Amino acid sequence: MSQHFLLSKAARSLSLSAVARMSEGEAREAFTAIRWAETAGKPFCPRCGCASVYAYASRRIYKCQGCKHQFTITSGTIFASRKLPVRDILLAIAIFVNGAKGHSALQLSRDLNVQYKTAFVLAHKIREAIASEGVSKVGGNGKPVEIDGAYFGGYIKPANWREHRRDRRLARNQNGKRRCVVVMRERRGKTLPFICRTEDQAVPEIKDRVAAGSVVYADEAGGWEPLHARYLTKRINHKEAYSDGEACTNQAESFFSRIRRAEIGTHHHIAGPYLAAYADEMSWREDNRRTSNGELYLMAANAAVKHPTSKQWKGYWQRRVIREAAE
């Protein structure tokens, strides 16, 4: 049997210690090289695109000669308004991409010696950036696309005494927090997950996201019946076999395996509103599982500097939570 990719030398092209040893000046240089790659690291104005930029001698800011806009190396990126040194941000990206099953915010907070809240938001900013690189449609031209759903969250602890326990499979005994991740995964291609309440609510979105002309593979669940009207759909009955040689949803299951391990082993709990972010992260990891960590680091850093300031994560802990009045 051939060697697993992650054991091979090709999988290791990033040295965490090299990133950690960078001085702040070196880290800024590395960051500018990624951010302004098209001008070989020479800053230009993020507002008007003017290349005539003045660097202050006393502070680490730039001023555009054209529109007088002042900016820093992280202005306009997902790391805008940062307080952490640039080196720590690069280190966070390097640590983040190394975790095949994700990296928990608590662990990141200890790695970087920052508060849990800081690490939580930082990891989510990286997640948002890499998710924006994902696809919005899969399939087409006879491409095989596997579809399946799996449930996450809403765990109910069984009562201590047996006579107090309820059948947790019944809807009336659940807490309504459970969500379904439905995945559309091209064989040898891209993975596209989304969240809904139940598997059978997923069909309209699947019709939207899976291009006509795809060959769809799904399991025996009744909710997938409407797919036959639109796609050449092949089903596999999991009560009989996981694969009949052609029809299987093993690629979709493989994605679920990764996100399940991330939930149970890494994060321990994924709250419903954030499930989509974790699903997107895991699809990125799944699609790039044969990419070296050095490349992953550059891909994530690139996505982060190209991604505008996050509406959801900027000032997250200072936000005003507007709760709808209970009626």
Stretch of residues binding Zn ion (CB under 5 A), selected from 66-74, 129-137, 140-148, 315-323 = 66-74
Residue 48 engages Zn ion in binding (rule: CB under 5 A): yes
Least separation in angstroms between CB 68 and Zn ion = 7
Rounded distance between C-alpha atoms, residue 276 and residue 295, angstroms:
24
The one-letter amino acid at 67:
C
Residue 72 engages Zn ion in binding (rule: CB under 5 A): no
Residue closer to Zn ion by CB (options 48, 232) is 48
Residue closer to Zn ion by CB (options 66, 223) is 66
Stretch of residues binding Zn ion (CB under 5 A), selected from 28-36, 48-56, 209-217, 231-239 = 48-56
Over its C-alpha atoms, the chain yields an Rg (Å, rounded) of 23
Residue closer to Zn ion by CB (options 51, 159) is 51
Residue 66 engages Zn ion in binding (rule: CB under 5 A): yes
281 within 8 A of 96, measured Cβ to Cβ: no
b/e burial code for range 257-292 (CB count within 10 A of at least 16 → b) = ebbbebbeebbeebeeeebbbbbbbbbbbbbbeebb
Residue 70 engages Zn ion in binding (rule: CB under 5 A): no
Residue 47 engages Zn ion in binding (rule: CB under 5 A): yes
Residue 67 engages Zn ion in binding (rule: CB under 5 A): yes
Residue 63 engages Zn ion in binding (rule: CB under 5 A): no
Residue closer to Zn ion by CB (options 47, 289) is 47
Residue 313 token pair: 């994560």
Stretch of residues binding Zn ion (CB under 5 A), selected from 65-73, 214-222, 232-240, 258-266 = 65-73
Among 16, 30, 50, 106, binds Zn ion (CB under 5 A): 50
Among 19, 22, 27, 45, binds Zn ion (CB under 5 A): 45
Residue closer to Zn ion by CB (options 64, 252) is 64
Residue closer to Zn ion by CB (options 52, 243) is 52
Residue closer to Zn ion by CB (options 61, 67) is 67
Among 69, 187, 289, 314, binds Zn ion (CB under 5 A): 69
- Tell me the CA distances in angstroms from 87 to 16, 29, 31, 272, 326, one per residue in order: 11, 10, 9, 32, 45
Residue closer to Zn ion by CB (options 50, 106) is 50
Least separation in angstroms between CB 62 and Zn ion = 10
Residue closer to Zn ion by CB (options 69, 178) is 69
Least separation in angstroms between CB 203 and Zn ion = 48
- Tell me the CA distances in angstroms from 71 to 32, 53, 318, one per residue in order: 13, 10, 23
Least separation in angstroms between CB 230 and Zn ion = 49
Among 64, 119, 123, 270, binds Zn ion (CB under 5 A): 64
- Interface with Zn ion (CB under 5 A), residue total 8
Please give the residue ranges that form the binding site for Zn ion (CB under 5 A).
Answer: 45, 47-48, 50, 64, 66-67, 69
